[in-house]
Structure 1
Amino acid sequence: MTALDTTAPKQPVRRRPRRSVVLRILPALLLVVLAVVGPWLAPHAIDAPITAPYAEPGGGAPLGGDQLGRDVFTRLLAGGRELIVTSLLVAVLVTAAAAVLGAVSALRPTVGRIVERSADVLMLLPPVLGILLVALSWPGGGRFAVIAAAVVMGVPYAVRLVAGAAAPVAASGYIEAAAVGGERLWHLVVRDVLPNLRATLLALFGLRFVAAVYVVATAGFLQVGPQPPAADWALMIRENAAGIVLNPWSVLAPSIAIGLLAMSVNLAASALVPQTGRKAVSAL
C-alpha cells in the first residue's frame, strides 16, 4: 500500500463573492444617503419660485421649473427623505409583525387558523380603498395615517408567507422536543423558529419595502399624506402631471427616483440573503 499524499493542495472552499454583494448593495446605499442628506444639498428653498411655470431646464434650474416655477432639482433632493423613512418604518413593522404572527401560527394551529382567516378577509380589500379608509378615518391624517394604512395592508400577505415558511420548522423534531420539555411559546418563537427563518425574513423585508414605497407613493399621489407645498416625490408627480409636455422632467425625475429606490433596495435585500437560504425564498 502506498501512503497517502498529505502534501496535496486542498480544494478551495467556495465562498460567496464579497465584491458582488457590495456592488449590489452600493446603489441602494448611495440613493438612501443622497435622499437623507438631500434637503441640506438643495440649492434653493423648496417653495421659492425661481423660474417661469414649467420652464425648461437651464440657468439655475438644471431640471427646469414646476407648476409654480419652483426648482424641480431642489424639490427632488428634498422629496425623498420622508418617503424612505416612512417606507423603511413600514417595512420593519410589517416584517416584525409577520414574523411573530407567522411563527405563533405555525406553533399553535388554532391561532394560525384565526390569523389566516383574518388575513384572507383583509387581502380582499383593494389597496387604494384600504388607504383611504384607514388614512381618512385617522384623527388628523398625515404621515402616521399613511404608516398605519401601509402596515394594515402589508401584514396579511406577509404573515401568510412567514407562516408557510415556519410550518416545516415548527414540525421538526427539536422544536417538538423543546415544546415537550416545557419551553414557553415566546422562547420557541424567538430562540428556535425565527433564527431559522433569517433568509425568508430578509427577502420579505426587501419585498415589503418595495410594497411600502408603492403604498406611500400612492397615498402621496392621492394627497392623503403630505400636503402642498411639501416636497414629496409622489406629490410632485400629481402636481406636475398637467405640464408634462412643457417640462417632462417635473414628472419624470421623481418617477425615476421612486423606481430606482424600489429596485435598488430590493436588489440589496436579495444580496443579503444567505446562500444556504436561497432555495427557501425562491418562491417569493
Structure 2
Amino acid sequence: MTVKTLRPRRRRTRALTRVLPALLLLVLALAGPLLAPHAIDQPLTFPYAGADDTALLGGDLLGRDVLSRLLSGGAPLIATALGIALAVTTAATAIGILAALRPRLGRWVERTADLVILLPAVLGIMLVALAWPAGGRLAVGAAATVLGIPYAVRIVAAAAAPIAATGYVETAAAGGERLWYLMAREVLPNLRATLLALFGLRFVEGVYIVSIAAFLQLGPQPPEADWALMIRENAPGIMLDPWAVGAPCLAIGLLAVSVNLAAEALAPARPTPESAL
C-alpha cells in the first residue's frame, strides 16, 4: 500500500471522527422529544431539587424535570438555526456570485452591505422582534437572516471574484453563455469549500443569536422548552441545581463546536505541492 492511498484513507477517517459527533448530537436533539421520560410542563418535585431517581438532572424553577426539557429543547433551536443558515447561505451565494460577475453591480452591493453591517445585530433583532406583531421565534429568525446576509455576501463575493476573472469563465461569457449558466455551472462548483464553511459558521451564529434573543426574553416564551430559555429561567437557582443551567449550556457549546468541526472536515481538501507530484 502506497503513501498516496494511505493519505485519502486517513483524511476520510479524520473526517468521520469529526462529523460523527455532530450527527449524533443532531439526531439526539431531534429525537429528544420522543425520548423524554416526562411531560415538559409536569411538575415532579420541588423547585431546584437535586438529582434523584425521579428527575435524573433535578428540577427547574417550577419543579419540572430538567432532563425532559433538555431533550425537548434542542429541536426548535436547531430548526431555527438551520433555517437561518440555509436562507443566509443561499441568498449570499446568489448575490455574491452575481456581484463578482457584474463588477458595476458588485460595487453597489458592497456599499449597501457596508451600511447594513454598521447596524449592531443584537439591536436590529430587538427592533424587529419587538415591532413584529406576533413576535416569537419567527421574528428572531427573520431578523437574523436579514442582518446576516450582508456579512455573508462580502465573503462569497471576495471568494468568487478571482474565479470570475479566470480564463474559462471569460471564454464562456464571450461564447454567449447566459448569466445563470455562468453562475451555476462555472463559478458555483468552485466555491464548495467556501460555502460549506460559510454554512457552518452561519449555523453556529444562528444558534448563538437565537440563544441570546431567548436570554433577552425575545423569541421563545415560557412554558416552551428551549435550551437558551432554560438558562435564563433557571439562572437564579444555579447553586441549588447546577444541572438546570449547566446542562443546556453544555448542549449549546457542544452543538456549536461539533458543527464547526464537521463543516471543516467536509470541506474539499486544498491541493498541496506534494499532491501535485
TM-score, normalising length: structure 2: 0.94
Aligned to 1:95: 89
- 2-structure distance, mates of 1:178, 1:138: 46
The aligned amino acid for 1:72 is V
- 2-structure distance, mates of 1:104, 1:57: 56
- 2-structure distance, mates of 1:10, 1:36: 42
Unaligned runs of 5+ in 1: 1-8, 279-284
Name the SS of the counterpart of 2:208 in structure 1: helix
- 1-structure distance, mates of 2:50, 2:147: 39
Matches within 5 A, 1:69-148: 69-148=63-142
Q: 1:242 to 1:123 in 2, by over 3 A?
A: same
Alignment length (residue pairs): 270
Identity %: 65
Matched, 1:202 2:196: yes
Aligned to 1:68: 62
Question: Given the alignment, which residue of 8, 27, 47 partners 1:15?
Answer: 8
Cα deviation, 1:117-142, whole Å, max 9, x if unaligned, reads 11111111112101111222223112
Q: 1:245 to 1:94 in 2, by over 3 A?
A: same
Shift of 1:44: 0.7
The answer (yes or no) to whether the contact 1:95–1:205 under 8 Å persists in 2 is yes
Question: Given the alignment, which residue of 5, 12, 27 partners 1:33?
Answer: 27
Matched, 1:47 2:41: yes
Once structures 1 and 2 are overlaid, which stretch shifts more, 111-120 or 73-82? 111-120
Question: Given the alignment, which residue of 164, 182, 202 partners 2:158?
Answer: 164
Question: Given the alignment, which residue of 244, 249, 261 partners 1:255?
Answer: 249
Name the SS of the counterpart of 2:52 in structure 1: coil
- Aligned CA RMSD, in angstroms, stands at 1.5
The aligned amino acid for 1:36 is L
Q: 1:10 to 1:263 in 2, by over 3 A?
A: closer
* Runs of 4+ deviating beyond 4 Å: none
Name the SS of the counterpart of 1:143 in structure 2: helix
The answer (yes or no) to whether the contact 1:146–1:224 under 8 Å persists in 2 is yes
Q: 1:60 to 1:163 in 2, by over 3 A?
A: same
Question: Given the alignment, which residue of 246, 258, 261 partners 1:264?
Answer: 258
Name the SS of the counterpart of 1:195 in structure 2: helix
- 1-structure distance, mates of 2:118, 2:206: 18
- 2-structure distance, mates of 1:42, 1:10: 50
Matched, 1:188 2:188: no
Aligned to 1:5: none
The aligned amino acid for 1:107 is L
Q: 1:49 to 1:10 in 2, by over 3 A?
A: closer
Q: Which has the higher helix share?
A: 2
Cα deviation, 1:213-238, whole Å, max 9, x if unaligned, reads 11111111122211100000000001
Name the SS of the counterpart of 1:198 in structure 2: helix
Name the SS of the counterpart of 2:8 in structure 1: coil
The answer (yes or no) to whether the contact 1:98–1:162 under 8 Å persists in 2 is yes
The aligned amino acid for 1:15 is P
The answer (yes or no) to whether the contact 1:199–1:277 under 8 Å persists in 2 is no
Q: 1:219 to 1:66 in 2, by over 3 A?
A: same
The aligned amino acid for 1:172 is T
The answer (yes or no) to whether the contact 1:56–1:63 under 8 Å persists in 2 is yes
Q: Which has the larger radius of gyration?
A: 1
The answer (yes or no) to whether the contact 1:105–1:163 under 8 Å persists in 2 is yes
Aligned to 1:276: 270
Shift of 1:267: 0.5
Unaligned runs of 5+ in 2: 273-277
